[in-house]
Amino acid sequence: MKRIIFVVAFVLAAASLSACGTSPGDRAGSGAMIGAGVGAGAGLLVGAPIEGALIGGAVGAGTGALTSPSTINLGEPAWER
């Protein structure tokens, strides 16, 4: 049960952190990277880090592409500074 709660917390963190940047492409790219990292971490807990990274990356990219900068704005991406 603790693992399930931890995985859900990781997925929620990925979704909430996935929208860095101002354009949809920036947001999808950063969301995919953050989601893959969080997903791999969650996947390690259940023995499937590759699958976790793939799922987390997809969720992060989708969330980043579908949200607008006014919804979640974490600032300018590091690669544009």
Q: pLDDT of 62-81, one tens digit each? A: 888 887 767 666 677 677 77
pTM: 0.61
Report yes or no: 70 and 25 within 8 Å, Cβ to Cβ.
Answer: no
With a cut of 70, which residues of the chain have pLDDT below it? 1, 6-7, 10-20, 69, 71-74, 77
Report yes or no: 21 and 53 within 8 Å, Cβ to Cβ.
Answer: no
Residues 13, 56: Cα–Cα separation, whole Å: 10
In terms of Cα–Cα distance, which of 36, 30, 64, 35 is closest to 50? 36
Residue partners of 32: CB distance under 8 A and separation at least 6: 18, 57, 58, 60, 61, 64
